[in-house]
Amino acid sequence: MIEDFNKFNDGTSVMADVCIIGAGAAGITIAREFLGTHYKVVILEGGGFDPEADSQKLFESEVVGLPHNSIHDGRARVFGGTTTLWGGQAVRLEDFDFKVRIWIP
């Protein structure tokens, strides 16, 4: 069952054994692990089935420090998460990704 919290009255509560935040690749994959179990699972997604300007606006920010391109365009608050933006590309991690960096605690 899929419900839009925008249509609920104030004070509505939802009860579940497990709450997963985000209906992206990880959230949906984890939720599927509970299929056929006795656990009641709820996934909370910040967006709808289609991109919504108000929801995406929550990603607006100022990038400081090291340059980072596409922090705003490369994320999606929508069912499916950022996978809705992927063109089927998943980049392998390199040795550098695992190196200690003095500026990262």
> What is the per-residue burial (b if ≥16 Cβ within 10 Å, else e) of 68-88?
eeeeeeeebbbbbbeeeeeee
Question: Could you give the CA distance from residue 77 to residue 53 in angstroms, rounded to a whole number?
Answer: 10
List pLDDT tens digits, range 45-101.
989 999 888 888 888 888 888 877 667 777 889 999 988 888 777 788 899 889 999
Single-letter amino acid, residue 103: W
Whether residue 40 contacts residue 17, with contact meaning beta carbons closer than 8 Å, is answered with yes
pLDDT, mean of residues 14-31: 94
Q: What is the pLDDT of residue 22?
A: 93
Its pTM stands at 0.71
Residue ranges per structural domain of the chain: 5-98
Q: Is the pLDDT of residue 32 over 90?
A: yes
| Residues paired with residue 20 on neighbouring β-strands, in sequence order | 43
What are 43's two structure tokens?
Answer: 């996934």
Q: What is the pLDDT of residue 65?
A: 84
